[in-house]
A and B are shown apart, each in its own frame.
Chain A
Amino acid sequence: MVVVFIGDSSPATLPLPLAAFTSLTITYKVDKASERFLNLAGQTLESLAAGCPWPCMPIVASLWTLKAKRWSDFLIFSASRTVFLHNSDAVVQLLKSCFTATLGTNTSPISCNGGVGALLGHGFKYHLCGGLCPVAPGILYLRAYRSIRDIVFLTEEIVSILMHSVREIVCSGLLRERLEKLKATKDGIKYGQASLAASMTRVKLAAALGASLVWISGGLMLVQLLIKETLPSWFISVQRFDQEEKSGGMVAMLGGYALAYFAVLCGAFAWGVDSSSSASKRRPKVLGTHMEFLASALDGKISLGCDSATWRAYVSGFVSLMVDCTPNWVLEVDVHVLKRLSKGLRQLNEEELALALLGVGGVGTMGAAAELIIDTGI
């Protein structure tokens, strides 16, 4: 066996036409006279090099930075975006770091407080000694998502990252609680409640981030895909949660609420809460399918693979958000589906929510609401 070390002299390669094209652009001087050519050729060169396999773009960028020093920041930033075009693992990693930056669960040097500041950063900063600083993950995603080729896989990834974030939130909350218990004792504060409320706030933040990412990446199409396919298949497929004893089902429950917030926010981004936008015309069909799915699963016609606490939290979260925040959506759902849903909610001991749902349902559900009042005596 021989180990050969190939040093700096090792040749970098480019496809022949790209090499020829790059060489041609380099022969021009950067001045007024050749501006027309460079405007035309520069854009083509950038998109061509970005389309070629990975090291092409950095090679073209470094050839050009040798030529035009003052463009080097632009060229290097363009090159760094192309990492995400060819590699879906890198995209998933970027999404994960968007979540950890926002929730403050990361250990990166930029910030450990979380929030939008950590997600989007403060633009491009320079070190005093020259060179670019690390760019915040949100900014990188905003610059890269347009060129991600396959966006369909994004919904599944975002759902699983969201569930992972919920687990992290609960675990870090439990850790903090235990530390506080060690410090203070017996002031009568119910630690469990305080940590649940704090965790819930962060879960909502994670869900809002997930919904924003789905909406900007794929718009209406991706939201419909999420609600029609991704979410139902997530609930049906068997989840293997490595439940720790200490979390006591909190991960499962908060996961359900996270999905409910996520789904309702995605829907609200895509269709709006009323009927003013043109996209709201698509709402009854997709939402109807989803409510039908909820009702069938509650009836027991569809068997679910997820944790029952997650499912319960999802259904009650989704319906109560709809009743409170988007009552117009309820009016578009079929009356029979609403009745089946309210029956299912009563089986989950959610009588008040069942009544509220029938209450917003309009004239069609009035009779069922009256029956419910007589039956339960609310």
Chain B
Amino acid sequence: MLFLISGLKDLADFLPASLATIISYFSAEVTRGVWKPVYMNGTDWPSPAANLLNVEGQIRKILAATGVDVPSLASGFLIVMTLNCINFFKIPTTNAFSAEKKITILTRISLQLFLLSLSFTLL
């Protein structure tokens, strides 16, 4: 993940025009919604754990006057399961995303950039 993000940052710093492409690529991918969720556990991806409870508390406080029920965030909940299910539900924490996927993202972005620059030269 560090490889991916630092690569993207270098790209954006070196070629500011690529920013719009990077942003629109991410927007399109998020809206497409085919990607698996990743765990923000602080090793592969940055972790919000230090602040998440505080943010949740503030949101509850803002909405207190309306009586709206805020769905609880992903911290501190109980899971009831049978012993047999534990292995089934085991969460893969590391290497959830192989290097291949990161490379796929980079390749797609660079391909789009290449096409973009090609269209500029043709113009």
A contact residues vs B (CB 8 Å cutoff): 1-24, 26-28, 36-37, 40-41, 44, 48, 51-52, 54-55, 58-59, 61-63, 65-66, 76-77, 79-80, 83-84, 87, 90, 93-94, 97, 101, 108-110, 121, 131-137, 140
Find out whether the CB atom of B73 lies under 8 angstroms from the CB atom of A97.
no
Find out whether the CB atom of A20 lies under 8 angstroms from the CB atom of B40.
no
Find out whether the CB atom of B41 lies under 8 angstroms from the CB atom of A11.
yes
How does the 8 Å CB contact mask read for B82-109 relative to A, with 1 for contact and 0 for none?
Answer: 1100100001010001000100010000
- Chain A residues closer than 8 Å to B76, beta-carbon distance: 5-8, 10
Contact of B58 among A2, A3, A76, A94 (CB under 8 A): A76
Which B residues, 32 to 49, have Cβ-Cβ distances below 8 Å to chain A? 33, 35-41, 45-49
Find out whether the CB atom of B30 lies under 8 angstroms from the CB atom of A65.
no
Closest residue of A by beta carbon distance from B86: A2
Contact of B82 among A1, A41, A136 (CB under 8 A): A1
Find out whether the CB atom of B75 lies under 8 angstroms from the CB atom of A8.
yes
**Interchain Cβ contacts within 8 Å, total number:** 213
Which B residues, 47 to 82, have Cβ-Cβ distances below 8 Å to chain A? 47-56, 58-59, 61-71, 73-82
Which residue, B50, B58, B65, B75, has most C-beta atoms of chain A within 10 A?
B65
Find out whether the CB atom of A19 lies under 8 angstroms from the CB atom of B40.
yes
Query: A12-B74, A83-B59, A90-B68 in contact; A51/B30 too (CB < 8 A)?
Result: yes
Assembly CA distance A279 to B28 (angstroms) = 38
B111 contacts the other chain (Cβ, under 8 Å)?
Answer: no
Find out whether the CB atom of A11 lies under 8 angstroms from the CB atom of B93.
yes
B19 contacts the other chain (Cβ, under 8 Å)?
Answer: yes
Find out whether the CB atom of B39 lies under 8 angstroms from the CB atom of A54.
no
- Chain B residues closer than 8 Å to A27, beta-carbon distance: 5-6, 9
In the assembled complex, the CB of A27 is this many whole angstroms from the nearest CB of chain B, namely 5
B116 contacts the other chain (Cβ, under 8 Å)?
Answer: no
How does the 8 Å CB contact mask read for B20-32 relative to A, with 1 for contact and 0 for none?
Answer: 1011001101110
The 8 nearest A-B residue pairs measured at CB: A11-B39, A13-B37, A17-B29, A134-B65, A16-B35, A62-B51, A62-B48, A134-B64
Query: A6-B77, A12-B49 in contact; A24/B68 too (CB < 8 A)?
Result: no
Find out whether the CB atom of A59 lies under 8 angstroms from the CB atom of B48.
yes
Query: A66-B50, A131-B58, A132-B61 in contact; A20/B73 too (CB < 8 A)?
Result: no
- Chain B residues closer than 8 Å to A5, beta-carbon distance: 76, 78
- Chain A residues closer than 8 Å to B12, beta-carbon distance: 24, 37
B115 contacts the other chain (Cβ, under 8 Å)?
Answer: no
15 A-B interface contacts by CB (under 8 A): A4-B78, A6-B76, A12-B39, A12-B73, A16-B97, A27-B6, A54-B71, A55-B73, A61-B55, A66-B51, A80-B58, A93-B68, A109-B65, A131-B61, A137-B65
Assembly CA distance A54 to B56 (angstroms) = 12
Find out whether the CB atom of B56 lies under 8 angstroms from the CB atom of A24.
no
Assembly CA distance A9 to B65 (angstroms) = 31
Query: A5-B78, A16-B38, A24-B8 in contact; A133/B46 too (CB < 8 A)?
Result: no
Closest residue of A by beta carbon distance from B72: A55
Closest residue of B by beta carbon distance from A89: B69
Find out whether the CB atom of A83 lies under 8 angstroms from the CB atom of B68.
yes
Find out whether the CB atom of A20 lies under 8 angstroms from the CB atom of B78.
no
Find out whether the CB atom of A11 lies under 8 angstroms from the CB atom of B63.
no
Query: A2-B83, A97-B66 in contact; A26/B46 too (CB < 8 A)?
Result: yes
Closest residue of B by beta carbon distance from A107: B67
Find out whether the CB atom of B49 lies under 8 angstroms from the CB atom of A24.
no
- Chain B residues closer than 8 Å to A121, beta-carbon distance: 65
Contact of A83 among B29, B41, B70, B81 (CB under 8 A): B70
Find out whether the CB atom of B54 lies under 8 angstroms from the CB atom of A63.
no
Assembly CA distance A65 to B30 (angstroms) = 22
Contact of B52 among A1, A59, A94 (CB under 8 A): A59
- Chain B residues closer than 8 Å to A59, beta-carbon distance: 40, 48, 52, 73
Find out whether the CB atom of A97 lies under 8 angstroms from the CB atom of B75.
no
- Chain B residues closer than 8 Å to A66, beta-carbon distance: 48, 50-51
Find out whether the CB atom of A136 lies under 8 angstroms from the CB atom of B65.
yes
Closest residue of B by beta carbon distance from A2: B83
